[in-house]
Amino acid sequence: MNERKIILEDIAPVDLYGVNDNKMGLIRKRFPKVKIVARGETIKISGEDEDLNQVEMVLNVLIDYFHRYGNLTENAVEQILAGTKESGAKTEQAAGDDVLVFGNGGLIVKARTENQRRIVDSISKNDMVFAIGPAGTGKTYTAVALAVRALKNREVKKIILTRPAVEAGENLGFLPGDLKEKLDPYLQPLYDALYDMIPAEKLSYYLENKIIQIAPLAFMRGRTLDNAFVILDEAQNATEGQLKMFLTRMGASAKFIITGDITQVDLPKNQPSGLPQAMRLLNKVEGIEFIKLDGSDVIRHKLVKRIVEMYDNVKDKKEEK
């Protein structure tokens, strides 16, 4: 067993250790084979060299995060530890450079599954990406994070988020309020993602000045969407004509991500979804990539993964008959 000593510089011990050593407790839990003793500005770690390298790397990432963002919450510590665990804690890049957005309250937004990472890689190579998969696979959240990153990096001038305003068993006309109040519930998942990633005051500014635009799919007709990162969510609820209309809105300097779940179509039975048609017609078009997510990408409550699996089993049995 080997021992190393780490001396803290430019960070108060309480900022790294947490009140009552709460943050250090999270690190100890992540590395049970390493003995970690933190006293004052000195941290002693004992264990095998490979484990010590990982602990030292994580501590450096945490300190770097504090220096860059001025705080280090327990939530940030948990997410950095989760990120390094998924990637084998090989380098600082595992917890730093692959972060898409540093959100509110220390939230770290990053691709957390292989297919989510494929979405991130694909949008850097292609101007249009389709992310198809069941609920809870993070396809919309990842897409919004990519859009926010592009805006912050000044790669685009605006973000446009849209969804078909299709009733999922409820009648839109019976909802109270004006048109905006009727439509907002359908667009709420997009607002929720943005609230996670952008401070409230700045988000209000972006929305008021139309730097970020959130609107129903029907409002896209006649527009040319240029210098923008554009996301069509719930694309399975767009008709064939609507989806063609949307895809042909693409300007010369735009990125499009289209997300959908072909197992949850809410259109009337006499209106086929445009998503399966697009998958057939555009599958081999250069510059467009289709990424399919599945139950292994579900990152919501563990029950969501089980629910998806059970419904998939029912679907498979029906197809066998």
At 37, which CATH number? 3.30.1370.10
How far does Cα 278 stand from its chain's mean position? 24
Average pLDDT over residues 149-173: 78
Whether the model pTM is above 0.85 = no
Cβ-based burial of 86 (10 A; exposed 0-12, middle 13-18, buried ≥19): middle
Percent of the chain clearing pLDDT 90 (strictly above): 51
Cα separation values, 40 from 14, 15, 67, Å: 9, 12, 19
Domain ranges, residue 68 = 2-97
CATH number at residue 156: 3.40.50.300
- The pLDDT assigned to 81 comes to 82
- The pLDDT assigned to 95 comes to 44
One domain for residues 176 and 82: no
**Residue written as token pair 């599954």:** 113
Strand 2-7 vs strand 42-47: parallel, antiparallel, or unpaired? antiparallel
Instruction: Check: CB of residue 212 under 8 Å from CB of residue 194.
Output: yes
- The pLDDT assigned to 108 comes to 76
Question: Would 108 be classed as within a structural domain?
Answer: no
One domain for residues 187 and 282: yes
The tokens of 3 are what? 């021992």
Average pLDDT over residues 149-163: 93
Residue 162 reports pLDDT greater than 60: yes
DSSP 1-50: -EEEEEE--SS-HHHHH-GGGHHHHHHHHH-TTSEEEEETTEEEEEE-HH
Q: Give how many domains the chain has, as a whole number.
A: 2
Instruction: Check: CB of residue 201 under 8 Å from CB of residue 177.
Output: no
Question: Would 111 be classed as within a structural domain?
Answer: no
Confidence of residue 91 (pLDDT cuts 50, 70, 90): very low
One domain for residues 27 and 167: no
Question: Would 259 be classed as within a structural domain?
Answer: yes
Please identify, among 97, 129, 153, the residue that sits at the C-terminal boundary of a domain.
97
One domain for residues 41 and 132: no
The pLDDT tens digits for 23-40 are: 999 999 999 999 999 999
- The pLDDT assigned to 68 comes to 67
One domain for residues 80 and 125: no
Give Cβ neighbours of residue 111 (< 8 Å, ≥ 6 apart): 98, 100, 117, 119, 120, 142
**Helix, strand, or coil (residue 130):** strand
Average pLDDT over the chain reads 85
**Helix, strand, or coil (residue 117):** helix
d(CA 220, CA 159): 13
Question: Would 107 be classed as within a structural domain?
Answer: no
Residue 87 reports pLDDT greater than 50: no
User: Of 101-115, 225-239, 264-278, 295-309, which range is least confident?
Assistant: 295-309
Question: Would 110 be classed as within a structural domain?
Answer: no
Greater model confidence, 307 or 28: 28
One domain for residues 155 and 206: yes
Average pLDDT over residues 256-284: 94
Average pLDDT over residues 1-8: 89
Q: Dihedral, CA atoms, 196, 198, 201, 204, nearest 10 degrees? A: -90
Instruction: Check: CB of residue 72 under 8 Å from CB of residue 95.
Output: no
Greater model confidence, 297 or 115: 115
One domain for residues 217 and 142: yes
Please identify, among 37, 63, 97, the residue that sits at the C-terminal boundary of a domain.
97
One domain for residues 137 and 72: no
One domain for residues 148 and 83: no
Residue 122 reports pLDDT greater than 60: yes
Average pLDDT over residues 67-90: 70
Greater model confidence, 163 or 174: 163
d(CA 253, CA 231): 14
d(CA 290, CA 258): 9
Question: Would 153 be classed as within a structural domain?
Answer: yes
- The pLDDT assigned to 126 comes to 96
One domain for residues 167 and 297: yes
Handedness of CA 260, 262, 268, 273 (dihedral sign): positive
The pLDDT tens digits for 217-259 are: 989 999 999 999 999 999 999 999 999 999 999 999 999 999 9
Question: Would 102 be classed as within a structural domain?
Answer: no
User: Of 59-63, 101-105, 191-195, which range is least confident?
Assistant: 101-105
One domain for residues 158 and 208: yes
Residue 129 reports pLDDT greater than 60: yes
Residue 106 reports pLDDT greater than 80: no
Residue 85 reports pLDDT greater than 90: no
The pLDDT tens digits for 167-201 are: 544 444 555 565 566 667 778 888 899 999 988 88
d(CA 130, CA 115): 12
Please identify, among 47, 66, 97, the residue that sits at the C-terminal boundary of a domain.
97
Average pLDDT over residues 67-77: 78
d(CA 305, CA 58): 30
Given phi > 0 = left and psi -120 to 50 = alpha, else beta, which region is 291? Answer: beta
One domain for residues 138 and 263: yes
Question: Would 147 be classed as within a structural domain?
Answer: yes
- The pLDDT assigned to 88 comes to 47
- The pLDDT assigned to 170 comes to 43
